[in-house]
């Protein structure tokens, strides 16, 4: 006999009964059984007039779910993610370690500069993070360089320091508005302390709360909200650990395609040996955020890039088949109105193109021929046709390489796996 929802939420559980994801365009609610498997789920368009709190609480109450239950967990990416700029006190390794922690926290690192470069950037970021190096008391050379640091060359909301602890007092003296975070590298270049991860994660959630009205959620709903990008990364790692119903076979990438961004998650063996950028040592999974690839908030940027891409004709032929020629002409004449499915294919195409050539700050160069499996998730991926994705991949692999297996995560299993997993996060 099936129990009612009140009994389900009241009885002791080892996994959540209900999971909620608040996205840029949709609210997703899934009910889970006692083993964490999906019993049912529903997608609801965001009601921007009602606001997040009123809509989410109304949806739960209509489903007979008490908002005070501690068996509900929530994640969100409603504001598109926190933007972080990184300035390194020491070259290469420090930047990679800091960037990895920013990514794991669900935020979007837009650039990584060294202290000596200081080129500045007109691209606005929510946090400008200055850090790197171990806690070396012999810091006189670094102090001299730091005094020349000119944060006015950047556009940022908050300034944070996460480097050599012996220099932290000087940084606060020079920039009293800054926040000091414990040095994640500390005594050795291990990058294992998750201080930056925790600080950026809190900042991400604070940013989400105040920008999107999550703070108005009542009961336990607003407690313990996690960033959706972090959740998807956890779900991918769970699959790699063979603790998921999603089976990963060989080198794999995940593309989480949404309204504002496209997130790339990848196993590190895909990275070319001669890549100038490399994932931090000791990690098995990397992540990169394409902040300008999305089918709603980033639609104009996406369409513009597709229209001017030198391989637009090839892309449209693989995405649309015989209808590609007519769409190509419309695109070139500026009268193109691509469907959501074509836009989602465009996100796949441009993400692969950049990954194959390392085009992005901190993005490694990949050998796409090594990829054995592609998992597509996110709201925008639901309209994708697996065969079209395989055809798009043909643009970036030689005939000697077998076509990758393509899986569209239409049940959002990665999301559920990530939010219910207690496995450790890579540092």
What are 50-104's pLDDT values in tens digits? 888 889 989 998 988 888 788 888 888 766 667 889 998 876 567 778 888 888 7
User: In this structure, are strands 72-76 and 38-45 parallel, antiparallel, or unpaired?
Assistant: unpaired
| Statement: residue 190 has pLDDT above 60 | no
Count of CB atoms situated within 10 Å of the CB of 341: 17
Q: Which one, of 256, 255, 277, lies nearest residue 268 by Cα? A: 277
CB burial class (10 A; 0-12, 13-18, 19+) of residue 119? Answer: exposed
Q: Domain coordinates of the chain in residue numbers? A: 5-76, 83-203, 229-419
pLDDT-derived band of residue 39, with 50, 70 and 90 as boundaries? Answer: very high
In the chain, the percentage of residues whose pLDDT exceeds 90 is 38
Residues making up the chain, counted from first to last: 427
pLDDT at 398: 82
CB burial class (10 A; 0-12, 13-18, 19+) of residue 290? Answer: buried
Average per-residue pLDDT for the chain: 84
pLDDT at 204: 66
* CATH code reported for the domain at 5-76: 3.30.420.300
| Statement: residue 242 has pLDDT above 80 | yes
| Mean pLDDT of the region 92-120 | 78
Quote the CA–CA distance of 28 and 30 in Å, as a whole number. Answer: 7
Helix (H) or strand (E) holding 53: helix 52-62
Between these two residues, 64 and 297, which has the higher pLDDT value? Answer: 64
| Statement: residue 189 has pLDDT above 60 | no
| Mean pLDDT of the region 196-224 | 69
Quote the CA–CA distance of 163 and 97 in Å, as a whole number. Answer: 12
* Six-digit token string for 121: 């950037």
Quote the CA–CA distance of 235 and 173 in Å, as a whole number. Answer: 42
3-state SS assignment for residue 88: strand
Taking CA 110 as the corner, what is the angle to CA 364 and CA 176, rounded to the nearest 5 degrees?
130
Fold classified for 83-203: Rossmann fold (3.40.50)
| Statement: residue 12 has pLDDT above 50 | no
Say if residues 265 and 387 touch (Cβ distance below 8 Å).
no
């Amino acid at each position: 006999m099936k129990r009612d929802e009140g009994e389900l939420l009241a009885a002791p559980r080892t996994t959540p009964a209900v999971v909620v994801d608040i996205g840029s365009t949709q609210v997703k609610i899934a009910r889970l059984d006692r083993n964490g498997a999906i019993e049912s789920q529903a997608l609801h368009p965001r009601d921007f007039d009602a606001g997040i709190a009123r809509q989410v609480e109304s949806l739960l109450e209509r489903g007979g779910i008490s908002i005070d239950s501690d068996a509900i967990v929530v994640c969100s990416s409603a504001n598109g993610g926190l933007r972080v700029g990184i300035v390194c006190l020491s070259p290469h390794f420090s930047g990679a370690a800091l960037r990895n922690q920013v990514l794991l926290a669900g935020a979007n690192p837009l650039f990584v500069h060294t202290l000596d470069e200081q080129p500045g950037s007109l691209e606005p970021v929510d946090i400008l993070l200055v850090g790197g190096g171990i806690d070396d008391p012999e810091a006189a050379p670094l102090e001299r360089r730091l005094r020349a640091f000119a944060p006015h060359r950047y556009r940022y909301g908050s300034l944070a320091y996460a480097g050599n602890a012996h220099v932290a007092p000087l940084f606060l003296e020079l920039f009293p508005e800054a926040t000091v975070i414990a040095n994640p590298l500390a005594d050795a270049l291990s990058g294992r302390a998750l201080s930056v991860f925790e600080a950026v994660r809190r900042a991400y959630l604070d940013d989400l709360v105040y920008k999107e009205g999550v703070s108005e959620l009542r009961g336990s709903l607003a407690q313990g909200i996690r960033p959706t990008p972090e959740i998807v990364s956890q779900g991918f790692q769970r699959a790699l650990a063979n603790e998921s119903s999603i089976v990963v076979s060989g080198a794999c990438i995940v593309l989480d395609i949404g309204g504002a961004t496209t997130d790339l998650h990848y196993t590190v063996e895909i990275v070319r040996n001669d890549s100038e950028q490399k994932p931090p040592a000791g990690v098995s999974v990397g992540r990169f955020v394409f902040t300008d690839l999305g089918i709603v908030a980033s639609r104009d940027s996406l369409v513009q890039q597709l229209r001017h891409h030198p391989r637009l004709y090839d892309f449209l032929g693989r995405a649309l088949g015989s209808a590609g020629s007519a769409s190509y002409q419309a695109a070139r004449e500026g009268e193109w109105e691509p469907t959501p499915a074509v836009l989602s294919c465009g996100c796949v195409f441009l993400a692969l193109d950049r990954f194959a050539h390392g085009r992005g700050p901190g993005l490694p160069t990949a050998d796409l021929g090594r990829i054995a499996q592609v998992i597509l998730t996110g709201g925008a991926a639901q309209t994708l046709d697996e065969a079209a994705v395989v055809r798009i991949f043909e643009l970036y692999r030689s005939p000697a390489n077998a076509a990758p297996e393509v899986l569209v995560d239409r049940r959002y299993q990665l999301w559920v796996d990530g939010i219910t997993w207690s496995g450790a996060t890579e540092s």
